[in-house]
Amino acid sequence: MSLGWRLWGTVVLLAVGLAAHSLLARHVLGGGAAQPGTLVRPLANLPLVLGDWQGADVPVEPRQRYADEHLNRTYVHTTRGQSLMLWIAYSSTGRDRGHHPEVCMAVAGQPEDTSVRQTVSLPGPGEPAQQYRFGLPGERQWVFYWHYTLPSEEPPHLDAIQRLRRRLVERPASITIEVFAPEQMPADAEGAREFVRLVDAALRTHLPAGAGRGSTREPVIMLK
Amino acid letter, residue 205: T
- pTM of this structure: 0.76
With b for 16 or more beta-carbon neighbours within 10 A and e for fewer, the 10-38 pattern comes to eeeeeeeeeeeeeeeeeeeeebeeeebbe
Sign of the alpha-carbon torsion through 189, 98, 201, 77: positive
Beta strand 53-57 with 118-120 is unpaired
Full 3-state SS string of the chain: CCHHHHHHHHHHHHHHHHHHHHHHHHHHHCCCCCECCCCCCCHHHCCCEECCEEEEECCCCHHHCCCCEEEEEEEEECCCCCEEEEEEEEECCCHHHHCCHHHHHHHCCCCECHHHCEEECCCCCCCCEEEEEECCCCCCEEEEEEEEECCCECCCCCCHHHHHHHHHHCCCCEEEEEEEEECCCCCHHHHHHHHHHHHHHHHHHHCCCCCEEECCCCCCCCCC
CA distances, 99 to each of 24, 59, 62, 128, 178 (Å): 34, 19, 16, 18, 10
Domain ranges of the chain: 31-214
Per residue in 175-205, pLDDT (tens digit) is 999 999 999 888 999 999 999 999 999 999 9
- Each residue's pLDDT, cut to its tens digit, for the chain (224 residues) gives 555 555 555 655 555 454 444 444 444 444 444 456 789 999 999 999 999 999 999 999 888 888 899 999 999 999 999 999 999 999 998 888 888 888 888 777 889 999 999 999 999 999 999 999 999 888 899 999 999 999 866 555 555 444 444 444 557 889 999 999 999 888 999 999 999 999 999 999 999 988 999 988 776 543 33
d(CA 113, CA 205): 34
Bridge partners (DSSP) listed for residue 132:
143
Q: Which of 109, 125, 121, 132 is nearest to 217 (CA)?
A: 132
